[in-house]
Amino acid sequence: MGFRSKAATERPAGLGSGQLMDPRIARSHASVLQAATALLVEGGPDALTIDGVVARSGVAKSTVYRHWATRDDLVADVIRECAPRVEPLPGGLDFETALHALTRHLVAAMGDPQWRRMIPALLLLRLQHSDVAQIDEQLKTDQHDLFATVLRLGVQEGALDRTVLDDVDRAMALLVGPVLMAALVDSAPLDDEFADEVASQYLAASRQRV
Amino acid sequence: MGFRSKAATERPAGLGSGQLMDPRIARSHASVLQAATALLVEGGPDALTIDGVVARSGVAKSTVYRHWATRDDLVADVIRECAPRVEPLPGGLDFETALHALTRHLVAAMGDPQWRRMIPALLLLRLQHSDVAQIDEQLKTDQHDLFATVLRLGVQEGALDRTVLDDVDRAMALLVGPVLMAALVDSAPLDDEFADEVASQYLAASRQRV
DNA sequence: GAGAAACGATACGATACGGTATCGTAGTGG
DNA sequence: CCACTACGATACCGTATCGTATCGTTTCTC
């Protein structure tokens, strides 16, 4: 993932955390990232070329290569920047409301048009690009953990069979799948109503099972 | 989509349908298509290059361009060839069994490893490639019609509210989504058990609604 | 204000790829 | 057996792209 990029977003050694880095670096870094993101979103991975970024951002090619060692590093950074952050849910919720909060959080994350356009690129690049593969795995495990805690809640309340915890991924397929499909194919609007429908559907099925 | 490709798979004018075409054409056509498919599956759209196809298939470049006017036509043909064929369900089924048959048919189609690897490519290419976009739309409308007939069955039996027919796409998101997710992310095995689970979940939720 | 660091502009090399053209060869169908 | 057609090999052109190198200029930091 290009340590140069990391170095550009952190402070140089020997500076306090209040101390900001060279604003020139921040500027060019941000400009490049923005242009690269736009290109990736609009035209897919092939459209994200160095020359394209140079033309669109107004940043010189030499500067781009000062921040990213290679084009692949830039691509990975763009995806990493756009990927939704998985944040834990507030504690103290009962299972049903937690599940609804989870699906709502999900549709909100997948609703970001930039991210929606980036998902196919992520699915493709992760197969050949180890950095992108790592981003994908990170995202997956974070979501997995989040779902596991919510499902554990359901088990504790007796609403779910204990065995769901043995196959969290399967439950995720049932819950995330519809949202992913809606995001990829525009088969349903990504609003809270849809989120609630997905959650309710899962709950209805689990009630019947128990 | 390259009329040349079409011409290569059909018989020259003036021949009866029993009459086969020049076997040399069939051979080279098949070899190219097979090599191109492998390249697309293994390395994504970028890996499907003419030179790569030439190297892998043993067919000369001039021959490739005799059958396909351009690289994009070849790509479209590869996707078209691999895309699952949507065939109507047997008539006379009741709603529940029809729905289960539908989801089973679905997991069978999405289970094809070649097609699974091709879905991200399809999702990306349809945005810039009109031929691929057409394949995607064709597939979508075929599936839509299939689901519509099954859902109509549910309405006739009183198992579904009449309003589902106003938003077949939403129902498809709920039913196809989990399967798509499982195919893309390997979150669940694509077997009949999973298909039945998806169908049952949808049924449980709809029973509760009515 | 001076030194240092980042930047812009540009030229350049290497490579990969799409697509065309040519020509001799081999297989097919009548 | 013969004309015809498809094929293989190869050379070639134009272009896009990655990545490097150089050098004068701007801008920040101290």
- Specify the number of domains making up chain A: 2
Alpha carbons within 13 A on the beta-carbon side of B28: 18
Answer with the one of B81, B100, B129 that is the final residue of a domain: B81
A154 with A206: CB under 8 angstroms?
A: yes
Query: For A121-129, what is the mean pLDDT?
Result: 97
Return the nearest residue to D8, CA–C1': B60
Q: CA A86 to CA B134: how far, in whole Å?
A: 36
Surface-to-core class of residue A120, CB atoms within 10 Å of its CB (0-12 exposed, 13-18 middle, 19+ buried): buried
A157 with A205: CB under 8 angstroms?
A: no
Q: Are residues B56 and B140 in the same domain?
A: no
What's the pLDDT tens digit per position in A15-54?
444 456 899 999 999 999 999 999 999 999 999 999 999 9
Q: Is the predicted pLDDT of residue A152 greater than 50, yes or no?
A: yes
Nearest Cα of chain A lies from the Cα of B80 at a distance, in angstroms, of 18
Residue of B nearest to A174 (CA): B178
Q: CA A12 to CA A30: how far, in whole Å?
A: 17
| Residue in the block written with tokens 């064929």 | B85
Q: Are residues A112 and A178 in the same domain?
A: yes
Q: Are residues A201 and A103 in the same domain?
A: yes
The H-assigned helical ranges of chain A are 3-9, 23-43, 50-57, 61-67, 71-82, 95-111, 113-125, 130-156, 168-185, 192-209
Share of chain B above pLDDT 90, in %: 87
Q: Are residues B88 and B183 in the same domain?
A: yes
Q: CA B105 to CA B110: how far, in whole Å?
A: 9
- Report the CATH number at residue A157: 1.10.357.10
Which residues in B lie closer than 8 A to residue A172 (C-beta atoms)?
Answer: 181, 187
Q: Is the predicted pLDDT of residue A153 greater than 60, yes or no?
A: yes
Nearest Cα of chain B lies from the Cα of A87 at a distance, in angstroms, of 21
Q: Quick check: B147 contacting A, CB < 8 Å? A: no
Opening angle at CA A71, ends A68 and A75, nearest 5:
90
> What is the length of chain A?
210
Give the per-residue pLDDT at B119. 98
Q: Are residues B36 and B104 in the same domain?
A: no
- Report the CATH number at residue B59: 1.10.10.60
What's the pLDDT tens digit per position in B168-195?
999 999 999 999 999 999 999 999 999 9
Q: Are residues B172 and B69 in the same domain?
A: no
Residues 6+ apart with CB under 8 A from B24: none
Q: Are residues A76 and A95 in the same domain?
A: no
Confidence of residue A188 (pLDDT cuts 50, 70, 90): very high
Answer with the one of B59, B81, B103 that is the final residue of a domain: B81
Q: Is the predicted pLDDT of residue B15 greater than 80, yes or no?
A: no
Those of residues 89-118 in B touching chain A at CB distance below 8 A are 117
B71-82 vs B50-57: helix crossing angle, rounded to 10: 60
A50-57 vs A23-43: helix crossing angle, rounded to 10: 120
Residue A87 phi/psi, 5-degree rounding, is -110, 145
Answer with the one of A81, A111, A129 that is the final residue of a domain: A81
Q: Are residues A93 and A177 in the same domain?
A: yes
Q: Are residues B100 and B198 in the same domain?
A: yes
Quote the domain boundaries for residue A198: 85-209
Give the per-residue pLDDT at B4. 52
Which residues in A lie closer than 8 A to residue B119 (C-beta atoms)?
Answer: 123
Give the per-residue pLDDT at B20. 67
Q: Are residues B65 and B98 in the same domain?
A: no
Give the per-residue pLDDT at A21. 86
Residues 6+ apart with CB under 8 A from A185: B140, B173
Nucleotide with C1' nearest the A74 CA: D18
Confidence of residue B8 (pLDDT cuts 50, 70, 90): very low
Q: Are residues B117 and B178 in the same domain?
A: yes
Confidence of residue A198 (pLDDT cuts 50, 70, 90): very high
A138 with A109: CB under 8 angstroms?
A: no
| Residue in the block written with tokens 């109507």 | B88
Q: Are residues A68 and A104 in the same domain?
A: no
A105 with A89: CB under 8 angstroms?
A: yes
